[in-house]
Amino acid sequence: MKRIIALSLFAFSCLTSTAHASSTYAQTKYPIVLAHGMFGWNTIAGVFEYWYGIPEDLKSNGATVYSTQVSGLASNEARGEQLLTQVQTILAISGAKKVNLIGHSQGTMSIRYVAGAIPAQVASVTGIGGPNLGSPVADDLLALNKVSPALESVVLTALNGLDSLITTLSGGHFTPNAQASLTSLSTAGSAAFNASYPQGIPTTTCGQGAATVKGVNYYSWGGTGVSTNFLDPTDLLLEVTTLAFGGAANDGLVGQCSSHLGVVLRDNYAFNHLDEVNQLFGLKGFGADPVGVIRTQANRLKLAGM
């Protein structure tokens, strides 16, 4: 009973109402559920959003939005189960028959998991910068064990510590598991996940996947920027992680082709991995606006009757 009450409070707290919408441009038939990636959160101190400024923009354009929070560091399956529980609560409380799922980074795997589990209750899946084929960054970090088990232990401890801090600041109660997260995001781990959840995965190299599977519509986009704003300190980290790709196009953490899922709307936005969700505090380069890109996707879903 306590769990049901807690989940109910979660869903109500995450709801972004449409009472003050200034337009109906993004007013989808079904609620939009946002799923964060690795090290993600909903809001920190009730102010700093993972999807920076995006829920408010969708709300002002008529959408009903839920921002979820799962483990920042965990396996695809563990995060997927956590999200599944929250989606089922959202469906129960909202009375909606379906939801539109939008996931960033590892959140793409979370929403794919949910769509695989309850396809009849999912209208669409949209992956943003999802490492559907894995990431060489995860491969390299896991390979540290062959170089120095002690060094790998230090790295894993540091990653778990960072995630614990983020979880505490955001009011979450999850136990981090960096080893499980990296294993899931590795090339081998992603291949295993895709074998269980193949929906929308391209069958050709860097191709498009099936547009619709079991009534669920699949979309994706990604970026190929790395250092996009000299004022953004997170760009420095991505300048290091991009080295793992050996010169292949990537957003700092995910390869261009790895982001492909279902209908590939675009795979070369001038976004790095954090720009894709309007981080850090909206600092980004010139070109497309990630807030506008997501707003346009909501309109696309609306026009498609979702």
> Would you tell me how many other CB atoms lie within 10 Å of the CB of residue 53?
15
Which residue, 188, 4, 30, 186, is CA-closest to 85?
Answer: 4
Q: CB under 8 Å to 232, separation ≥6 — which residues?
A: 274, 280, 283, 284
How high is the pLDDT of residue 287?
85
CA distance 109 to 114: 9
The DSSP H or E segment spanning 63 is: none
Say what the pLDDT of residue 5 is.
35
Query: What is the separation of C-alpha 77 from the centre of its chain, rounded to a whole number of angstroms?
Result: 14
DSSP letters for 270-293: S--TTGGGTTTTT---SS--HHHH
Look at residue 8 in the predicted model and tell me its pLDDT.
41
Cα–Cα distance between 240 and 253 in angstroms, integer?
10
- Contacts with 120 (C-beta within 8 Å, 6 or more apart), sequence order: 98, 214, 215
Count of other CB atoms within 10 angstroms of residue 288: 17
In the chain, the largest separation of any two C-alpha atoms, in whole Å, equals: 57
Residue 248 DSSP class = -
Query: Could you please report the per-residue DSSP string of 180-220?
Result: HHHHHHSHHHHHHHHHH--TT--SSTT----SEETTEEEEE
Catalytic residues: 105, 251, 273
Write down the pLDDT at residue 271: 97
Residue 86's domain comprises 2-303
* CATH number reported for the structural domain that contains residue 23 in this entry: 3.40.50.1820
Question: Per the structure, how many domains does the chain have?
Answer: 1
pLDDT score recorded for residue 4: 41
| Rg, Å, the chain Cα set | 18
pLDDT at 285: 87
User: What tokens were used for 218?
Assistant: 């699949």
pLDDT in tens, the chain (306 residues): 334 434 443 444 454 444 467 899 999 999 999 999 999 999 998 889 999 999 999 999 999 999 999 999 999 999 999 999 999 999 999 999 999 999 999 999 999 999 999 999 999 999 999 999 999 999 999 999 989 999 999 999 999 999 999 999 999 999 999 999 999 999 999 999 999 999 999 999 899 999 999 999 999 999 999 999 999 999 999 999 999 999 999 999 999 999 999 999 999 999 999 999 999 999 988 889 999 999 999 999 999 999
